[in-house]
Amino acid sequence: MTRRAIVHRVAMAGPDDVAGIEALLKNGQVNASEIVAILGKTEGNGCVNDFSRGFAVQSLRTLLGAYLSPTQLDAVPMVMSGGTEGGLSPHWIVLAARADARMDPPVTPALALASAVTRKLSASEIGRPAQADLVRGAVLQAMQNAGIRDLTDVHYVQVKCPLLTASRAAEVRGDVATPDMLKSMGLSRAASALGVALALGEIDAIPPDAIGRDRALWSGRASCSAGIELMTCEVVVMGLSPDWTGDLRIDHAVMHDAIDSAAPVGLLARIAPGAPLQGAAGQIRAVLAKAEASSGGSIRGLRHTMLEDSDISPTRHARGFVGGMLAGLIGLTDLFVSGGAEHQGPDGGGPIAIIYTTKEHS
Amino acid sequence: MTRRAIVHRVAMAGPDDVAGIEALLKNGQVNASEIVAILGKTEGNGCVNDFSRGFAVQSLRTLLGAYLSPTQLDAVPMVMSGGTEGGLSPHWIVLAARADARMDPPVTPALALASAVTRKLSASEIGRPAQADLVRGAVLQAMQNAGIRDLTDVHYVQVKCPLLTASRAAEVRGDVATPDMLKSMGLSRAASALGVALALGEIDAIPPDAIGRDRALWSGRASCSAGIELMTCEVVVMGLSPDWTGDLRIDHAVMHDAIDSAAPVGLLARIAPGAPLQGAAGQIRAVLAKAEASSGGSIRGLRHTMLEDSDISPTRHARGFVGGMLAGLIGLTDLFVSGGAEHQGPDGGGPIAIIYTTKEHS
Amino acid sequence: MTRRAIVHRVAMAGPDDVAGIEALLKNGQVNASEIVAILGKTEGNGCVNDFSRGFAVQSLRTLLGAYLSPTQLDAVPMVMSGGTEGGLSPHWIVLAARADARMDPPVTPALALASAVTRKLSASEIGRPAQADLVRGAVLQAMQNAGIRDLTDVHYVQVKCPLLTASRAAEVRGDVATPDMLKSMGLSRAASALGVALALGEIDAIPPDAIGRDRALWSGRASCSAGIELMTCEVVVMGLSPDWTGDLRIDHAVMHDAIDSAAPVGLLARIAPGAPLQGAAGQIRAVLAKAEASSGGSIRGLRHTMLEDSDISPTRHARGFVGGMLAGLIGLTDLFVSGGAEHQGPDGGGPIAIIYTTKEHS
Amino acid sequence: MTRRAIVHRVAMAGPDDVAGIEALLKNGQVNASEIVAILGKTEGNGCVNDFSRGFAVQSLRTLLGAYLSPTQLDAVPMVMSGGTEGGLSPHWIVLAARADARMDPPVTPALALASAVTRKLSASEIGRPAQADLVRGAVLQAMQNAGIRDLTDVHYVQVKCPLLTASRAAEVRGDVATPDMLKSMGLSRAASALGVALALGEIDAIPPDAIGRDRALWSGRASCSAGIELMTCEVVVMGLSPDWTGDLRIDHAVMHDAIDSAAPVGLLARIAPGAPLQGAAGQIRAVLAKAEASSGGSIRGLRHTMLEDSDISPTRHARGFVGGMLAGLIGLTDLFVSGGAEHQGPDGGGPIAIIYTTKEHS
């Protein structure tokens, strides 16, 4: 049966403010059982001690727990990305799918989305090739679940993956990629991103010691975040499929550095051809982007100070800066700009995907 | 005699790295006696305990002290703005003027710049109308020094003004605008900005209690910073004058909020008509802009979190975010984006001025 | 009937870790209905955007909601203080009371504790004398509830009070003590502290304009914190009463500056006479203290930099520093050291109360 | 000839405030040529982008440059330690030595101090055993220069050592201990500390891979800091020698964790036997201590949050906390508490040395 994607961008007055989602559920715009995943851009520091993420998830689970069975609830990936630096605005993105009784085949492929989950990883697998292989499989499974037939029709893959803690490392007698919790987050994101790249044919194989190191390897469509609350990898794939109908679409581009406005400008021009700057804002349902400080300490030959600032972490700097660029181009501030872009776009750059409606006045 | 402005944007490896300016002096591109003012974008936090500014000034004075008499040295305004958040790049802007023997009158008005200094303020005057009146006079004096004939030919006014300390307040028995040092910086910038607005005819008068409060009053060409090391207000005026020759020009625009890309895009289109985004980068000599968090806590109706973040000051957020927007539009990261924009552009926005050359390949 | 106080200090692995309290409930050490109040020292920044506090409260309410009716749940003050700077350790303090059937009158007065709540305040009353009056009444009511007969038998008063938001201010057409949310927290704490001082006879009256300004007025037994989730003031009084039995006691002292070790040393000497430094640690059930940066910028004539540090808020500096002093003297790091000490002890100092058992080996 | 040590602790109103030292020079309390070394506790973040240190050194060099030849100036170690968290107070410690014509042999050994410098290191040697060997030699040389005859008479060794930069690493084709600048600071401090431990007989040898890793190896008398401005290691040794006269002495103790008050209390009891807490303050000339967050994330079994706080670096937390403990015990806040204690005292602890006068009322 044909499906139709539903995407809502919902303002958040704080990490525990789920009133906007509750309203969607109450007025029937979304049924809880239709929800495929929920992303959240919360206002913490996006680093180790960012409790805005856990607070948001706990609040979401309390809300949805009134509508869903525990098993159903556990099946909904909830991916919180901390950090709304600069003028970025905290918000939820509710991603849902509804069966559509319409018999007519859709004219053009529409936004398709589905999730898949890997088996539980052992602590020894985190940040290593085994994780990439598992993610690769889950991406292909999610593609199949979504009815996306061609690798080029995938425009965005969100992965939520586990990290290492001291007790998890102890369970495998220290046979881990790193003993450092913060580093394990980076390596887990890195392995996940390379898993996406493998699945999408962006790379052929992962050379030894490449995970987290070889910045020449990257996916232009992966966005990965690590969380302490799971030992599986949850994967949400978004793309285009002729099995789906409705007016929503998705497209993406790759920023090659932190000031690469040409990439989003080109993407916006495909969404709303001929529109002026910020002219596509009304059509946009969600903006999903990655940002990071370039490892070499410079942008187009000019020094940046993100890596030497001991007061503000580089991820906070990068989100605010790239967020400012995107907000100026797009005309919106509720953008899902996420940090920690290991193998997610080139060094210092990152992917950007936009979900939009084809209806001009919406 | 006709004059010609000289403007160099010079990379800075740290607050004490004056090697780039030393090279200009040694190879004769600039003579020390020609220097009108030096601006610096240094990599501190831009707030109270930002020692990168004082370190930069001390380093500059040591360098120039070898070329200039103490009196000459004291006459050179050195305006350091702390904060290179996001991908912004620390740099100096050397502003100089050279007599030009050329007899031909210039075809079009060229960049003109000059400074003026008020008398010393008493602590009681700081942040109050008396300061605005003094700045107003200094702006008009600097215009005359620069040979700028029309108020509309002024495109940027940099003011460096004093702040209050406990000992200064004690000298006037506590008759001060505020006992708080940080607030006195804001009030001093505010009074200076309104002084510029008065001088340029952007406002007619300062209503009672308006300084630092009435956000409807602003200058679209003022940029003010407060420093502990002076009790005068130093004013540098930049504009266009038929008395000046050379290929340098200046123009400005006003951003009405933190994502108002239309303003800089329009400005860039006047500099390099028909050029693509970032296409004017090669012509640009200096970008001077103000950024701030809107006081209402939102941008175009969407909440921002800059004012509630107790870990990062709002000025740091705003510089990084607006810096990102401008860098994406302009294609450069060594932009003089300064925070603390009281009465300098509308609430949440700010002025942007660009010094550029008319030569396409330079 | 005679009552007996129960106090548990429980480690917290994160703001949502209520496992230790759940264990107390499950093994019967505490019955949910016996809980008088729960304090929590959580690991956020203790300032505006500290979500560790709300996350902790939400987690506590979810846990206790399985044991208590909504009305019972709402009657339990939950006071979260953010900030475990330095080596301070996040923890809960569960305060409970149990009826004791024992017929023998207790030998000496024992720890007594009870709460009381004011009526809802209007936004206009927050931070003003009306709030102090209401708190005064609630302190006296809580004393009566606790059976504490003499003002000198009160050793610690915890107040949780409301703050102003833009919408609350709008409800009273702007007739508020301050339009600034952060400042309203300070004024609300200040009014509450003076209310405690009034109740305990530490001051006779509140002079005009004294709230938040006159640092010579203070309570040596008040600890106040402001929270967005209530419009009443919740008061928990702790002291000694002959109506209570058991081996728990409470005593307090007042630190006169941030390095006033004599105050806690004297207090410890009363708890465990003759014991060496850190020798009373085993007897201690809870340490409750206030810390703040002295307003004059110095400690015993030597400059401190807490008020000029734009990267770390003064409250974070003060908690870590005073926390270090107390931990070194006491030999424990799970101390409830709270910032924001307006009228709570002298300028730059603060009260310290200790709940302890008289049993030497416990 | 007999020598006499001169030690002045001088308040600093900012990193560039050398007025107190200038006064010492002008009134003859110290002659510039007598200065052996200057330590400074400056008010930056103590991490990578702490410009308060460089600013202080530049200010010192400008001052002393009027008194000393460039060669003499370069021979004075200037060791700036950033970070005055909590109530710590920025200050200079001027260490000098004066020939004393007195013929009488001193009654007891007095404070002796002298410096020595290693040859320039190659970038490949930084953070490796070669550096430790060089430091070992310099410590022994400085002991000889100071006339300290016995290893047990050394109470404090300050080392200032180099760090790696990208360009330095490139000079040796990447044959470096780490490519990471921040990590190289830690490894350089670590190698220096083990060099001191070797010299003082605290360890016999450095096992393979022990530098920066094996926390069981440490010196109880080393304090090391890394700086970008040198490629040598500068060593200042302080101890007791019968060749020196005067009333100054030095003693030390080792703190075994961050709340080990017993160590400084014992040390203070040796300085002023029978005095109450804080009773030795008037005799103290300088307090030199190290602080760090314990690597295991807990103090005496209770969790601390210093290592997971992404807003404040662990070194800042540790300095403020241990600074608070020491200030409460000693009664002073101008303490040279320094972070980054690799192999300088046990994990989570650190050495503390005190220079004091034997004169009771001074």
On whether any CB of chain A is under 8 Å from the CB of D167, the answer is: no
Chain B: residue whose CA lies nearest to D61:
B62
Residues C52, C53, C58, CA angle at the centre, nearest 5°?
A: 100
Cβ-proximal residues to D108 (8 Å cutoff; 6+ apart), any chain: D242
Averaged pLDDT score across all residues of chain D? 95
Residue C311: name the closest of B328, A227, B310, B243 by CA.
Answer: B310
The answer to whether D203 touches D197, Cβ cutoff 8 Å, is yes
Dihedral of alpha carbons D41, D46, D51, D54, sign: positive
ipTM above 0.90 for this complex: yes
**pLDDT in the model for residue C115:** 97
Largest CA distance in chain A: 60
Q: What is the rounded average pLDDT of the residues C258-271?
A: 98
Residue C85: name the closest of C284, C241, C247, C316 by CA.
Answer: C316
Contacts of C321 in chain D (CB under 8 A): 85-88, 320-321, 323-324, 327
Which of A86, A88, A299 faces B87 most closely, judged by CB atoms? A299
Which of C305, C309, C313 faces B310 most closely, judged by CB atoms? C313
What percentage of chain A exceeds 90 in pLDDT?
91
**Distance (Å, rounded) from C-alpha B78 to C-alpha B55?**
12
Contacts of B309 in chain C (CB under 8 A): 48-49
Cβ-proximal residues to D238 (8 Å cutoff; 6+ apart), any chain: D95, D111, D112, D113, D146, D154, D155, D156, D157, D158, D250, D353, D355
Dihedral of alpha carbons B21, B24, B26, B29, sign: negative
Between chains, do B14 and D54 touch, taking CB under 8 Å as contact?
A: yes
Contacts of A313 in chain D (CB under 8 A): 310
Which of C46-55, C97-106, C109-118 is the least confident region? C97-106
The answer to whether B56 touches B225, Cβ cutoff 8 Å, is no
Query: Mind listing the pLDDT tens digit for each residue in B118-145?
Result: 999 999 999 999 999 999 999 999 999 9
The residues of C assigned a catalytic role are 160, 225
Which of A47, A297, A310 faces D49 most closely, judged by CB atoms? A310
**pLDDT in the model for residue B6:** 98
Between chains, do A87 and B299 touch, taking CB under 8 Å as contact?
A: yes
**pLDDT in the model for residue D147:** 97
Q: Is the pLDDT of residue B69 over 60?
A: yes
Among the listed residues D225, D294, D313, D338, the single catalytic one is D225
Residues C343, C346, C350, CA angle at the centre, nearest 5°?
A: 85
Contacts of A54 in chain C (CB under 8 A): 14-16, 55
Contacts of A311 in chain D (CB under 8 A): 45, 47, 49
**Distance (Å, rounded) from C-alpha C28 to C-alpha C45?**
34
Contacts of A181 in chain D (CB under 8 A): 308
Strand partners, D110: D241
Q: What is the rounded average pLDDT of the residues D52-58?
A: 97
Between chains, do A85 and B312 touch, taking CB under 8 Å as contact?
A: yes
Chain B: residue whose CA lies nearest to D52:
B51
On whether any CB of chain A is under 8 Å from the CB of B261, the answer is: yes
Confidence of residue D104 (pLDDT cuts 50, 70, 90): low
Q: What is the rounded average pLDDT of the residues D147-160?
A: 97
Contacts of D313 in chain A (CB under 8 A): 310
**pLDDT in the model for residue C361:** 58
- pTM score, two decimals? 0.96
**pLDDT in the model for residue C106:** 64
Task: List the subunits that have 3+ CB pairs under 8 angstroms with A.
Answer: B, C, D
Distance from CA of C73 to the nearest CA of B (A): 30
**Distance (Å, rounded) from C-alpha A85 to C-alpha A45?**
8
Between chains, do B49 and C313 touch, taking CB under 8 Å as contact?
A: no
Confidence of residue B216 (pLDDT cuts 50, 70, 90): very high
Between chains, do B333 and A265 touch, taking CB under 8 Å as contact?
A: no
Query: Mind listing the pLDDT tens digit for each residue in A9-51?
Result: 999 999 999 999 999 999 999 999 999 999 999 999 999 999 9
Averaged pLDDT score across all residues of chain B? 95
Q: Which of B180, B298, B310, B312 to mutate to test the interface with C (most CBs of C within 10 A)?
A: B310
Query: Mind listing the pLDDT tens digit for each residue in B222-271?
Result: 999 998 888 999 999 999 999 999 999 999 999 999 999 999 999 999 99
Cβ-proximal residues to C10 (8 Å cutoff; 6+ apart), any chain: C20, C21, C24, C91, C92, C93, C94
Q: Is the pLDDT of residue A362 over 60?
A: no
Chain A: residue whose CA lies nearest to D305:
A49
User: Active site includes B183?
Assistant: no
Q: Which of D310, D312, D315, D316 to mutate to test the interface with A (most CBs of A within 10 A)?
A: D310
Q: What is the rounded average pLDDT of the residues A192-218?
A: 97
**pLDDT in the model for residue D227:** 86
Write phi, then psi, for D88 (nearest 5 degrees).
-60, 150
Confidence of residue C97 (pLDDT cuts 50, 70, 90): very high
Confidence of residue B108 (pLDDT cuts 50, 70, 90): confident
Write phi, then psi, for D146 (nearest 5 degrees).
-90, -5
Between chains, do D332 and C261 touch, taking CB under 8 Å as contact?
A: no
Between chains, do D87 and C278 touch, taking CB under 8 Å as contact?
A: no
The β-bridge relationship of strands D78-82 and D35-42 is parallel
Averaged pLDDT score across all residues of chain C? 95
Return the H-helix or E-strand segment holding A35.
strand A35-42
Between chains, do B311 and C48 touch, taking CB under 8 Å as contact?
A: no
Query: Mind listing the pLDDT tens digit for each residue in A111-169?
Result: 999 999 999 999 999 999 999 999 999 999 999 999 999 999 999 999 999 999 888 98
Dihedral of alpha carbons A196, A202, A205, A210, sign: negative
Q: With a CB-CB cutoff of 8 Å, which residues 219-238 of chain C face chain A?
A: none
Task: List the subunits that have 3+ CB pairs under 8 angstroms with D.
Answer: A, B, C
- Length of chain D equals 362
For A202, half-sphere exposure in the C-beta direction (CA atoms, 13 angstrom radius) is 23
On whether any CB of chain B is under 8 Å from the CB of D14, the answer is: yes
Q: Is the pLDDT of residue D106 over 70?
A: no
